[in-house]
């Protein structure tokens, strides 16, 4: 039977609860304990798929095609597992399921209530993941902070779990924030005391408190939190801000969190071996020569919108012993006459996924810039549509080619709705989602990168390359280097006469791991690192 670790947040949001949850996974895995993870999102949307990235950051897609919270990306990268739809539960899903059951007559005669019905439905999701994953430990993170109205049913469910599975099989970890007062130069524990009180009021006594802070946490502060919040002194774990998120497992391990969890849950564990993780972090912290990459997107003001893309770039750079100097370029800014200046210092250009017409012409300009100046280009889903539109405008010598997503009446619809999407009316969960196979053309840059003929990658799109234009674009120099096995859907395209201009219909960023960069990102950075920025002079050979 699985054991459960529930992670709640207090004081403020965005202090790294997700990274803490993921890091606990890393630590337990380093002790040969099998782990799975789940994120509970209290909002009423069924999934984040229909939310703007400004509201929610990136939508992470699982192999089985669920549109989920970006924390699942961190779980996958830190624990190195592939999760499924079972790992993201929202209030929207819970209420829909309860109401659907009521309509089917599942509660005939009964009044449906928060307790027990809603709480039971939530607990069933915990148990479902435990039984499907067969993990020894299931880490479950409750989104939001304690005290949020929408979070109440989830907290009630995790409270009930202690009786359901027994005290030795459950652990509550509360992640809080200690604010620093400049005037008195001290960290304050009162907000933590209040949030723990709030938890206790609903019947949850935390076993461990992880204290986030931008300043060092003294023994005195630990004692105080231990006393007021009624946890062991060694169970107050300081987590000061670190320079890379990948360092968090090491900090928590150093503070004894791994042993504490093993002891409290009475787990059979091996000695921790975090040596490879340690090497990774040391490498990350060693100064490396940067590669300047422009990420041209619509939502660059909120960098969380491109979380996995940014991480995948860093993983790839690390492979080449380089750092990433990421230039966040708002695509709309490229639409004005001299927008190109924003790209001049880039050695590579990435156009990530996205929806809607805003900023598209700016992205197309970035693709023109990449093609004409032979700057490496990586297009991800929308980035592929942009590359195809740009190339078609060049090859057909017309400004008309477009995607019907942006211009429904274009005479050159080089990107068009997938046939199976034509009858789709609902917006939620109806795209072409999750893993699909892709056959690579031998000798292409894509096949070279992967080093294999057939790959599976995660998708999230409604539009595709329009095959009517395949011949004409191929004749002009575009190579359709990845196709669905039936040959009908273009999955990857590249330019024959360019050093590295490759785009894919899928999202390779979701598959990248810190010590296993995705092949396309790896080769993109590999080419970009040797690309001279515009105006840069090659070094003169030293005469002997």
Q: Interface residues with ligand GLN (CB under 6 A)?
A: 353-355, 381-382, 405, 460-463
Minimum gap (Å) between residue 355 Cβ and ligand GLN: 4
Nearer to ligand GLN by Cβ, of 311 and 405: the residue is 405
Q: To the nearest 10°, the Cα dihedral for 522, 524, 527, 531?
A: -130
Give the C-alpha separation, 317 to 324, whole Å. 6
Minimum gap (Å) between residue 396 Cβ and ligand GLN: 22
Give the C-alpha separation, 70 to 58, whole Å. 6
Nearer to ligand GLN by Cβ, of 237 and 489: the residue is 489
Nearer to ligand GLN by Cβ, of 157 and 381: the residue is 381
Nearer to ligand GLN by Cβ, of 356 and 487: the residue is 356
Give the C-alpha separation, 462 to 509, whole Å. 19
What the block records as the tokens of 294 is 């422009």
Nearer to ligand GLN by Cβ, of 27 and 417: the residue is 417
Contacts of 131 (CB under 8 A, 6+ apart): 2
Nearer to ligand GLN by Cβ, of 326 and 382: the residue is 382
Minimum gap (Å) between residue 382 Cβ and ligand GLN: 3
Q: Where do we find the tokens 């009423």? A: 44
The answer to whether 144 touches 91, Cβ cutoff 8 Å, is no
Give the C-alpha separation, 426 to 420, whole Å. 13
Vertex 162, ends 158 and 168: CA angle to 5°? Answer: 130
Minimum gap (Å) between residue 343 Cβ and ligand GLN: 20
Q: Strand 478-483 and strand 490-495: pairing?
A: antiparallel
Give the C-alpha separation, 442 to 482, whole Å. 10
Look up 381 and say whether it is catalytic. yes
Nearer to ligand GLN by Cβ, of 29 and 385: the residue is 385
Give the C-alpha separation, 245 to 133, whole Å. 26
Give the C-alpha separation, 159 to 361, whole Å. 52
Contacts of 372 (CB under 8 A, 6+ apart): none
Q: How far is CA 268 from CA 51, 88, 262, in A?
A: 42, 28, 7
Using CB atoms, what's the residue nearest to ligand GLN?
A: 353
Minimum gap (Å) between residue 86 Cβ and ligand GLN: 23
The single residue of 381, 438, 480, 504 carrying the catalytic annotation is: 381
The answer to whether 458 touches 507, Cβ cutoff 8 Å, is yes
Q: What's the distance, CA 220 to chain centroid?
A: 37
Look up 507 and say whether it is catalytic. yes
Minimum gap (Å) between residue 298 Cβ and ligand GLN: 10
Minimum gap (Å) between residue 392 Cβ and ligand GLN: 16
Active site residues: 381, 507, 509
């Amino acid at each position: 039977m699985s054991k459960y670790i529930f992670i709640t947040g207090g004081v403020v949001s965005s202090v790294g609860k997700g990274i803490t949850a993921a890091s606990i996974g890393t630590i337990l895995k380093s002790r040969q304990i099998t782990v799975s993870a789940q994120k509970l999102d209290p909002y009423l949307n069924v999934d984040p798929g229909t939310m703007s990235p400004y509201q929610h950051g990136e939508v992470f897609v699982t192999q089985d095609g669920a549109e989920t919270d970006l924390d699942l990306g961190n779980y996958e990268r830190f624990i190195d597992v592939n999760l499924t739809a079972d790992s993201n539960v929202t209030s929207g899903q819970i209420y829909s399921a309860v109401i659907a059951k009521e309509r089917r007559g599942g509660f005939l005669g009964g009044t449906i209530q928060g307790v027990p019905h809603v709480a039971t439905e939530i607990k069933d999701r915990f148990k479902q993941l435990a039984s499907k994953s067969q993990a020894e430990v299931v880490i479950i993170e409750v989104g939001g902070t304690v005290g949020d109205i929408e979070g109440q049913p989830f907290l009630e469910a995790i409270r009930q779990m202690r009786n359901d599975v027994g005290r030795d099989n459950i652990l509550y970890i509360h992640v809080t924030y200690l604010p620093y007062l400049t005037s008195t130069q001290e960290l304050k524990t009162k907000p933590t005391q209040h949030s723990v009180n709030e938890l206790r009021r609903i019947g949850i006594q935390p076993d461990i408190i992880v204290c986030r802070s931008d300043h060092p946490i003294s023994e005195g502060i630990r004692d105080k939190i231990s006393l007021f919040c009624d946890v062991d002194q060694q169970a107050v774990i300081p987590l000061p801000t670190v320079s890379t998120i990948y360092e968090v497992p090491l900090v928590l391990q150093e503070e004894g969190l791994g042993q504490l969890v093993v002891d409290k849950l009475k787990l059979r564990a091996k000695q921790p071996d975090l040596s490879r993780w340690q090497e990774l972090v040391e490498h990350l912290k060693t100064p490396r020569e940067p590669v300047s990459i422009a990420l041209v997107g619509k939502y660059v003001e909120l960098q969380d919108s491109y979380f996995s893309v940014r991480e995948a770039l860093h993983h790839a750079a690390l492979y080449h012993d380089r750092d990433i100097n990421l230039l966040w370029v708002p695509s709309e800014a490229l639409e004005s006459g001299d927008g190109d200046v924003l790209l001049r210092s880039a050695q590579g250009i990435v156009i990530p996924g996205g929806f809607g017409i805003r900023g598209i012409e700016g992205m197309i300009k970035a693709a023109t810039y990449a093609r004409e100046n032979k700057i490496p280009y990586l297009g991800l889903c929308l980035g592929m549509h942009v590359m195809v539109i740009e190339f078609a405008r060049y090859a057909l010598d017309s400004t008309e080619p477009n995607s019907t997503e942006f211009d429904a009446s274009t005479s050159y619809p080089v990107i068009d709705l997938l046939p199976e999407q034509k009858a789709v009316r609902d917006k939620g969960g109806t795209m072409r989602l999750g893993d699909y196979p892709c056959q690579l053309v031998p000798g292409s840059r894509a096949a070279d990168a992967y080093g294999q003929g057939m790959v599976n990658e995660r998708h999230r799109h409604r539009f595709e390359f329009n095959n009517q234009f395949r011949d004409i674009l191929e004749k002009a120099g575009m190579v359709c280097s990845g196709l669905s096995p039936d040959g009908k859907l273009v999955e990857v395209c590249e330019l024959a006469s360019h050093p590295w201009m490759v785009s894919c219909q899928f999202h390779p960023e979701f598959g990248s791991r810190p010590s296993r960069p995705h092949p396309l990102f790896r080769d993109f950075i590999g080419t970009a690192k040797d690309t001279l920025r515009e105006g840069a002079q090659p070094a003169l050979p030293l005469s002997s």
